[in-house]
A = this chain, B = another copy of it.
Amino acid sequence: MGEFDLIARIRSAATTSDCVALGIGDDCAILRPDPANELVVTTDMLLDGRHFRLGEATAEQVGYKSLAVNLSDIAAMGARPLAAFVAVSLPRGDAEAIAMGLLRGMDPLARRFGVALAGGDTNAWDGPLVVGVTVVGECPTGAAIRRDGARPGDAIYVTGPLGGSLLGRHLRPEPRLDEASRLRDACTLHAMIDISDGLLSDLGHICAESGGLGAVIDIQAIPIHRDALALARRSGRDGLDHALHDGEDFELCFTAAACELKSLLAAVPTVRRIGVITAGGGLRLRDHDGTTHAATPRGFDHLR
């Protein structure tokens, strides 16, 4: 099977949607989003040996993850995904099997969230598997929830338990698209991010982008995932430490003022209120006894 046969197979199998006037097979795809909406665009490149290990993970799992992490970015804007574009560099020799595996991993996820697989680029080489996904989404103009909207006094929330994703959850992130949609219906959200680098690191991005704000986090309030506890038994760190610093949880972290926790919980039962945005003072943890101390993010730096 050559490049064009493979593209033809992908084209016949790929999901499409109403807003896609032209999908796979031309120089560009053509999209016709709702003119009342603004567009959101995100891109992530996943690398064998870095974001997954092909062999430990199947091509299907890699396909799922590479689309899911982009959908998570769309969720973090409170937006709706429209179309995905997938560029791959396939290890020569096993190129076709891997390509079809990637597609099998992406396709059910795309269908579930109504995302069209609308275009891409297919290469083979002697290097490891690289999967680059770009997703275009939409939301009403002016309604996207950015990182830079937090205000002093905002409560800080997360959508679910954190830490220990390395035990396997990092391969099957659940894009919180529906949760984000229900939360924004329940309350005016000021700032939102998905937790990919680690809670402290990503909350730090919100604080920095919102004009150098700070945050105080109640350590008792942080929902610790059972995987964080399981990993702690091996790592010599504690579960809280994993919950604060581990990456690739893909839960949402958001801030809001004057939201009733009850309405947020009605929207997303796993939501937890974990702290408050402050005018400054950096990131601080509040201990059981009320004392606070400075906390330093040590989330993943992709260049180190």
Interface residues of A (CB under 8 A from B): 1-4, 6, 21-22, 25-33, 35-36, 38-45, 47, 49-50, 73-74, 76-77, 79, 83, 85-90, 92, 95-96, 118-128, 130, 132, 134, 136-137, 141, 144, 146-148, 192-194, 209, 301-304
Cα separation A22 to B6 with both chains bound (whole Å): 36
Cα separation A22 to B274 with both chains bound (whole Å): 28
4 A-B pairs besides A3-B302, A28-B79 with CB distance below 8 A are: A30-B40, A47-B127, A92-B303, A136-B136
Question: What's the least CB distance linking A57 to chain B, in Å?
Answer: 16
Q: Which residue of B lies closest to A39 (CB)?
A: B31
Question: What's the least CB distance linking A58 to chain B, in Å?
Answer: 20
Q: Which residue of B lies closest to A99 (CB)?
A: B303
Q: Which residue of B lies closest to A85 (CB)?
A: B43
Residues of B within 8 A of A50 (CB): 89, 123, 125
Q: List 29 A-B contacts (CB under 8 A).
A: A3-B301, A3-B303, A22-B146, A26-B146, A26-B148, A27-B77, A28-B40, A28-B137, A29-B42, A30-B39, A30-B40, A30-B144, A30-B146, A42-B119, A43-B85, A43-B119, A43-B120, A43-B121, A45-B130, A47-B123, A49-B127, A50-B123, A87-B132, A92-B303, A123-B302, A127-B127, A127-B130, A130-B130, A132-B132
Partner of A134, one of B2, B43, B90, B92: B43
Q: A41–B3 contact, CB under 8 A?
A: no
Q: B6–A303 contact, CB under 8 A?
A: yes
